[in-house]
Structure 1
Amino acid sequence: MKLLASLPTGERQALLWLVALGFFMQTLDATIVNTALPAMARDLGESPLQMHSVIVAYSLAMAVLIPASGWLADRFGTRQVFMSAIALFAAGSVLCALSPSLPLLVGARVVQGLGGALLLPVGRLAVLRAFPREEFIRAMSFVAIPGLIGPLIGPTLGGWMVEYASWHWIFWVNVPVGLVGLAAARRYMPRGDARERRGFDLVGYGLLAFGMAAVSLGVEAMAGGSLSRASALVLLVFGIASLASYALHALRSRNPLFAPALFGVRTLRVGLLGNFFSRLGSSAMPFMVPLVLQVSLGYAPMEAGMMMLPTVVGSMAVKPLVARLVRRFGYREFLVVNTGALALLIGSFATVAPGALLVLLLGQLALFGAVNSMQFSAMNTVTLMDLEPGNASSGNSLLSMVQMLAMSMGVALAGAVLGSLQSSAAHQGAAGTLHAFRLTFVCMGLLTLAATALFFQLPPRRVHRAQMDAQSRLP
């Protein structure tokens, strides 16, 4: 640790820019694809409503690899793993741009997601090892800024590229960025920080990874025909059994991926479950909104991308309010009310119609972005705030994994519901498709509403404040 902390100031600042670049690549690619889905579907001969697998593959691959990121960095060193992540991400981007069919594109997105899964966790670990504790928060705040810029420009940039070039360029653009990142990582990423080998729970990791993948793919396959639904049921059963087996295995493993003691923390348990279920609905929105704007309301790709800007503006505008509101009302009260508001806002998009007032839709999107941002900030904080310092890293990795899993399953669920509803209303043409979108928004809102029951399990405001006061008096 002394070796890395003694890096010259200039090299440490360059390291921050490098990690920020990796975070930007990850967040940009998570959103840039959304507005390009209809164009991809036309070029690949697919229905736009069946393109959700392109998003699911990326986020699911990230969720699967995140639990192993810390062990890989300790085993091979942050420099080697970070460079491999950039190379894998860039290679996946090339494969995406060259894909002639949907199955090959989905496979390429898996490669891309595996690279993206390592960019932020390993980069964050490199920053943690290179900066003194008192400077770490400032350093990570700097790294987080590009993570906000990626979603801000992603949908619009994707729409612009589709409209004025082709959808392939949303992947080709990653190649020069990746090459610059590789050169910078070779120059500025510290070397020699590999740690003493520690045990890795390979059996537990296999059970957890297979369980997450099987459940997500099972949900996605529910939109298919009778054979697909039979396969989906088998996948779901095996996936749930695998996750249950992992839970039992972790209780007796010497080196569990996530120590069972973590789940003894009440706020962590509730926060993880609340994160998962409330994100099922909200994670589907970046997929659903650009799609309905283009497929049912006739928006051009760039117009649909620009329509997503109010959500980001609303998200950034309310960031300073969250801490004050939580202090005023408490986490439980705030999250119960805010989750209900988020569910209503998601369901309110069932009112979208051709010819609707633009200003109303823009306001609706901005309000959704604001409430969704407050939800994420409060959920993430309450999940991690009661962890002991020794468990903070493991808890953070667990939260990241749950977030990515919820994102993949949210899009898979929305795609399954949308596909099923559209198939049953196919004879109604465009009106049937719009009706399917509307019902899907309602369904995703109801899924989000279910999370309010989980947040009721948080300590009441007065109890939690007493706990925090007691903790502050400890030596």
Structure 2
Amino acid sequence: MNAELRDGVIPASEGLRRVADVTPAAGGGQPHNYRTVALIIACALFMEGMDATVLATALPAMARDFHVPVTHLSSALTAYLLALAIFIPASGRFADRFGAKTVFRLAILVFLAGSLLCAQARDLPFLILARFLQGAGGAMMIPIGRLVLLRSVRKEDMVAATSWLIMPALVGPIIGPPLGGFIITYLDWRWIFYLNLPVGLLGVVLVTKFIAEVRGERPVRADFLGFILSGVSLGCLLFGFEMTSRSGELRGAAALIAVGLVTGALYVRHAGRRQDPILDLSLMQIPTFRLSVIAGSLTRITQGAQPFLLPLMLQVGFGMKASSSGAITIAGAMGSLGMKWLAPGLLRRFGFRRSLVVNGLLGAAGYAVCGILRPDWPLPVIFGVLMASGFFMSFQFTAYNTIAYDEIDPGRMSAATSFYATFQQLMLSLGICVGAAALHLAMAPSGRITPQPGDFTVAFLVVTAISASATIWNLKFSKTAGEEMSGRVPRSPQGQVAQEQTAKS
């Protein structure tokens, strides 16, 4: 066996050619299929998704313990966002220099350290610092986890692997709200953070045992100025977008967004003068990556607005209790979970371009129907609408997250995952801003302070129009885009030999 494979360290240029054909164990043992790799990475995504949804239910209890208004707890949430903004762009560089497996494992440990400190917090400032540390770990887990998957799975297995990756990650948001309610009712809110420990430690053990190490071919020079400019820009934009969803803070939000745009422009100028910037804008010259970023960004604005608008509509517009609203809103996550079994077959049958166009319109229509829901609709019908909406949009993101890397060279894979994850987080936050702005504009003519169902209809139609506009970009995909990833073309002879060897072993 080649020494590189025996030692479990493979150069990036060989990552998709050899490691993708046969996924080795970290120590050079028997090969492991893509399901094993995807489920191991999903441990981290499950932990992060569960943490975010459970925490939301604990804010009132935490505010009582800290003797502060519950609105002040938003600082703990935005501290996490700030860490994401700062460290996501740098994640690819860390992976190339120190190895994707090493950094992914370290990211889990940092997230666990932050969780443990959050559980020990006795006041709000300490919690804010702990959440920042937790966010630093989370910022590395998302893009590097995807990078590990991209470098460990055959191209034609990528759709199925992405589905396996996302399924456990979706379980976190499903069980989060009821689990949070149980913990707050019968235990202490600190157990929300303690729950991360066994899941994260299991992930560290499995990463150590089963994931191979992959590093970049050459060290990349540090880009300190780019790190500062991108961090300030993204941090201000994320904070600004998040603040627009809160009344009375629009002036501060506008100032932050303005600073973010100015520093962002300075970063673009800096990146144009540097060969290896921390966020490589030249990736947008690659057709499938560019189209996935643009169309996916438009769709993610709608996806970011929906979790903001839907609970408000059910509780404020329909007069539901928080517990009833939470039970209904899990329908979208359940629809997403059900879709993952069908995605590989559908993409293999219809291809990426046709699937993205047709399913994108169906997903947008699902959000439009959400806007015309009314309190007198039967609950099973509302539940079914939300489940269908989650089904279509989850398929759309599975396709975007896969096709984005179809034409990326292995040597640029880490830069691509950092770039993509950065825009993914930014657009989801922007969705909250757009949803809040649309709702306020709908209420403005009547001068109402409390939104009515009709106001939510306007807001949902606005964000639906944004996601529907992604169709223009979906139509620009080549008809043959992603054929190898979807399995519509025969596997290369080398990949076929590798599969037969894997089967024999």
Question: What's the TM-score, normalizing by structure 2?
Answer: 0.73
Q: Among residues 178, 181, 196, which one is paired with 1:156 in the alignment?
A: 178
Deviations 1:118-169 (CA, angstroms, capped at 9, x unpaired):
224445666788x697999698876655324323323332343345446554
Contact 2:84-2:136 within 8 A present in 1 as well: yes
Contact 2:26-2:211 within 8 A present in 1 as well: no
Deviations 1:434-469 (CA, angstroms, capped at 9, x unpaired):
56545433333233233333334334x38998xx99
Q: Which residue of 2 aligns with 1:238?
A: 259
Distance 1:398 1:359, change over 3 A: same
Does the residue aligned with 2:476 lie in a helix, a strand or coil?
A: coil
Contact 1:350-1:442 within 8 A present in 2 as well: yes
Q: Which residue of 2 aligns with 1:274?
A: 295
Q: Which residue of 2 aligns with 1:3?
A: 7
Mapped to 2, the partners of 1:464 and 1:172 lie a distance apart of 41
Q: Which residue of 1 aligns with 2:388?
A: 367
Distance 1:87 1:341, change over 3 A: same
Superposition map of 1:385-464 within 5 A: 385-415=406-436, 432=451, 437-459=456-478, 461=479
1:307 aligns with 2:311: no
CA RMSD of aligned residues (A): 4.7
Structure 1, 448-457 or 191-200: larger mean CA deviation: 191-200
- Once the two structures are TM-superposed, the CA of residue 197 in structure 1 deviates from its matched residue by 4.5
Deviations 1:388-421 (CA, angstroms, capped at 9, x unpaired):
3433343233222221222222234435555787
Superposition map of 1:135-284 within 5 A: 145-165=167-187, 167-178=189-200, 184=205, 188=209, 197-222=219-244, 228-284=249-305
Mapped to 1, the partners of 2:250 and 2:49 lie a distance apart of 32
1:338 aligns with 2:359: yes
Distance 1:21 1:383, change over 3 A: closer
Mapped to 2, the partners of 1:334 and 1:301 lie a distance apart of 36
Counterpart of 1:379 in structure 2: which amino acid? Answer: Y
Query: Which one has a larger percent helix, Structure 1 or Structure 2?
Result: 1
Distance 1:135 1:322, change over 3 A: closer
Contact 2:343-2:395 within 8 A present in 1 as well: yes
Counterpart of 2:261 in structure 1: which amino acid? Answer: I
Q: How many residues align?
A: 466
- Once the two structures are TM-superposed, the CA of residue 361 in structure 1 deviates from its matched residue by 0.8
Contact 2:26-2:209 within 8 A present in 1 as well: no
Q: Among residues 375, 379, 384, which one is paired with 1:354 in the alignment?
A: 375
Q: Which residue of 1 aligns with 2:69?
A: 45
- Once the two structures are TM-superposed, the CA of residue 54 in structure 1 deviates from its matched residue by 6.2
Counterpart of 2:301 in structure 1: which amino acid? Answer: L
Mapped to 2, the partners of 1:224 and 1:16 lie a distance apart of 37
Mapped to 2, the partners of 1:51 and 1:278 lie a distance apart of 29
Distance 1:191 1:53, change over 3 A: same
- Once the two structures are TM-superposed, the CA of residue 472 in structure 1 deviates from its matched residue by 10
Deviations 1:12-61 (CA, angstroms, capped at 9, x unpaired):
899987644323212322433455567778885346xx987766654563
Contact 1:284-1:410 within 8 A present in 2 as well: yes
- Once the two structures are TM-superposed, the CA of residue 115 in structure 1 deviates from its matched residue by 1.2
Ranges in structure 2 where 5+ consecutive residues have no aligned partner:
9-24, 495-505
Counterpart of 2:228 in structure 1: which amino acid? Answer: G
Q: Which residue of 2 aligns with 1:115?
A: 137
Contact 1:75-1:194 within 8 A present in 2 as well: yes
Does the residue aligned with 2:7 lie in a helix, a strand or coil?
A: helix
Contact 2:104-2:144 within 8 A present in 1 as well: yes
- Once the two structures are TM-superposed, the CA of residue 327 in structure 1 deviates from its matched residue by 6.0
Counterpart of 1:45 in structure 2: which amino acid? Answer: P
- Once the two structures are TM-superposed, the CA of residue 84 in structure 1 deviates from its matched residue by 4.2
Q: Which residue of 2 aligns with 1:317?
A: 338
Does the residue aligned with 2:222 lie in a helix, a strand or coil?
A: coil
Structure 1, 68-77 or 120-129: larger mean CA deviation: 120-129
Contact 2:85-2:238 within 8 A present in 1 as well: no
Counterpart of 1:444 in structure 2: which amino acid? Answer: V
- Once the two structures are TM-superposed, the CA of residue 380 in structure 1 deviates from its matched residue by 2.2
Distance 1:351 1:88, change over 3 A: same
Mapped to 2, the partners of 1:438 and 1:162 lie a distance apart of 33
Counterpart of 1:306 in structure 2: which amino acid? Answer: A
- Once the two structures are TM-superposed, the CA of residue 374 in structure 1 deviates from its matched residue by 1.8
Distance 1:189 1:374, change over 3 A: closer
Mapped to 2, the partners of 1:98 and 1:81 lie a distance apart of 26
- Once the two structures are TM-superposed, the CA of residue 298 in structure 1 deviates from its matched residue by 5.3
Mapped to 2, the partners of 1:423 and 1:214 lie a distance apart of 27
Does the residue aligned with 1:384 lie in a helix, a strand or coil?
A: coil
- Once the two structures are TM-superposed, the CA of residue 234 in structure 1 deviates from its matched residue by 3.2
Contact 1:27-1:147 within 8 A present in 2 as well: yes
Mapped to 2, the partners of 1:333 and 1:136 lie a distance apart of 20
- Once the two structures are TM-superposed, the CA of residue 273 in structure 1 deviates from its matched residue by 1.1
Q: Which residue of 1 aligns with 2:500?
A: none
Contact 1:56-1:411 within 8 A present in 2 as well: no
Q: How many percent identity over aligned positions?
A: 33
- Once the two structures are TM-superposed, the CA of residue 212 in structure 1 deviates from its matched residue by 1.7
Mapped to 2, the partners of 1:434 and 1:347 lie a distance apart of 13
Contact 1:204-1:246 within 8 A present in 2 as well: yes
Structure 1, 234-243 or 56-65: larger mean CA deviation: 56-65
Distance 1:341 1:125, change over 3 A: closer
Contact 1:67-1:397 within 8 A present in 2 as well: yes
Contact 1:221-1:229 within 8 A present in 2 as well: yes
Deviations 1:204-247 (CA, angstroms, capped at 9, x unpaired):
22222222222222233345677x44433333233223223322
Mapped to 2, the partners of 1:471 and 1:190 lie a distance apart of 27
Distance 1:422 1:190, change over 3 A: same
Distance 1:115 1:389, change over 3 A: closer
Distance 1:382 1:73, change over 3 A: closer
Ranges in structure 1 where 5+ consecutive residues have no aligned partner:
none
Contact 1:159-1:301 within 8 A present in 2 as well: no
